[in-house]
A = this chain, B = another copy of it.
Amino acid sequence: MRPSGRAPDALRPVFIQTGFARHAEGSALIRMGGTEVLCAASVEPRVPSFLRGKGQGWVTAEYGMLPRATHNRGPREAARGKQSGRTQEIQRLIARALRAVVDLKALGEISITVDCDVLNADGGTRCAAITGAWIALRLALEKLVRDGVLPAVPLKGQVAAISCGLTEAGAVLDLDYAEDSNASADANFVLTADGGIVEIQGTAEKDPFTEAQFNTLMRLARTGTAELFHIQTVTVNEALAS
């Protein structure tokens, strides 16, 4: 039995509110159970210096966690004067995930930064961030089309992410903090709606795992992201209709 009583292949309840960050060109506050991440996409009409004059755009991401998003208060990274290795690893992952589905040439010399800030943490924050960031990005791109800046939304697909892991209850989907901190292995899958793999990160937390176990986790991830792609689509359609 999972601590939450969920079935092995059950996601936590997902709730997404668009427009939470009022000034952002696109934003989504995504809740997956006790995890809550505010994703805000910011558009700037310029590109980093390494891309200047190359006729393409850029998409990047930053990640942060409020000090008391967690069970015990953590130090504020701005006060410590540096971002942890974990923070940098996660924001690089989010950015790669988003770029995998953007047509940077079609974007033109525009940069989009998606800020993903964790307001409440209960496991799976990086995956929730990716799933929410895609919505924020999509809404920002739709705005650029509405404003006549771009002729069409330069997206090649839809991306979402979910964690899976090996726990005392077996292989399970969408680990919460209680599961995550005791899992013998966990993996994050970043997948596209048309079945492609964008990123896989599997880590043995205790003992090495087998290829068969890994394949089971990938099956679960496909189940979970199918549901997330549906929720993303419904959410974006509602936001565009209003």
Q: Bits for A85-97, please: 1 = Cβ < 8 Å to B, else 0.
A: 1111101100010
Instruction: Tell yes or no: A142 within 8 A of B by CB.
Output: no
Please classify how large the interface on chain A is, using the bins under 10, 10 to 19, 20 to 34, 35 or more: 35 or more
State in angstroms the CA–CA spacing of A62 and B68 once bound together: 11
Q: Quick check: A66 and B208 within 8 Å, CB to CB?
A: no
Instruction: Tell yes or no: A131 within 8 A of B by CB.
Output: no
Nearest residue (CB) in B for A42 is: B73
Q: Bits for A6-29, please: 1 = Cβ < 8 Å to B, else 0.
A: 000000000000001111100100
State in angstroms the CA–CA spacing of A80 and B77 once bound together: 10
Instruction: Decide if the interface of chain A is mainly helix, strand, loop or mixed.
Output: mixed
Q: Quick check: B92 and A89 within 8 Å, CB to CB?
A: yes
Knowing A68-B42, A81-B81, A88-B85, the reply to whether A119 touches B201 (Cβ < 8 A) is: no
Q: Quick check: B198 and A73 within 8 Å, CB to CB?
A: no
Instruction: Tell yes or no: A202 within 8 A of B by CB.
Output: yes
Q: Quick check: A21 and B73 within 8 Å, CB to CB?
A: no
State in angstroms the CA–CA spacing of A124 and B6 once bound together: 41
Instruction: Tell yes or no: A67 within 8 A of B by CB.
Output: yes
Knowing A85-B89, A88-B89, the reply to whether A119 touches B73 (Cβ < 8 A) is: no
Q: Quick check: B202 and A197 within 8 Å, CB to CB?
A: yes
State in angstroms the CA–CA spacing of A119 and B84 once bound together: 22
Q: Bits for A112-123, please: 1 = Cβ < 8 Å to B, else 0.
A: 010101011110
Q: Quick check: B34 and A22 within 8 Å, CB to CB?
A: yes
With both chains docked as a complex, state the minimum distance between the C-beta of A77 and any C-beta of chain B, in angstroms: 4
Knowing A23-B120, A68-B40, A87-B78, the reply to whether A96 touches B203 (Cβ < 8 A) is: yes
CB contacts (< 8 Å) of A67 on chain B: these are 40, 42, 62, 113, 115
**Chain A residues in the interface with B (C-beta under 8 A):** 20-24, 27, 34, 38, 40, 42, 44, 62, 64, 66-73, 76-89, 91-92, 96, 100, 113, 115, 117, 119-122, 157, 187, 191-192, 194-204, 207-211, 214, 218
26 cross-chain CB contacts under 8 A: A22-B122, A23-B69, A40-B67, A42-B67, A44-B73, A64-B66, A64-B76, A67-B115, A76-B78, A78-B80, A81-B81, A82-B82, A84-B88, A85-B88, A85-B91, A86-B92, A88-B88, A89-B89, A96-B203, A100-B208, A119-B119, A196-B209, A196-B210, A199-B202, A200-B201, A211-B218
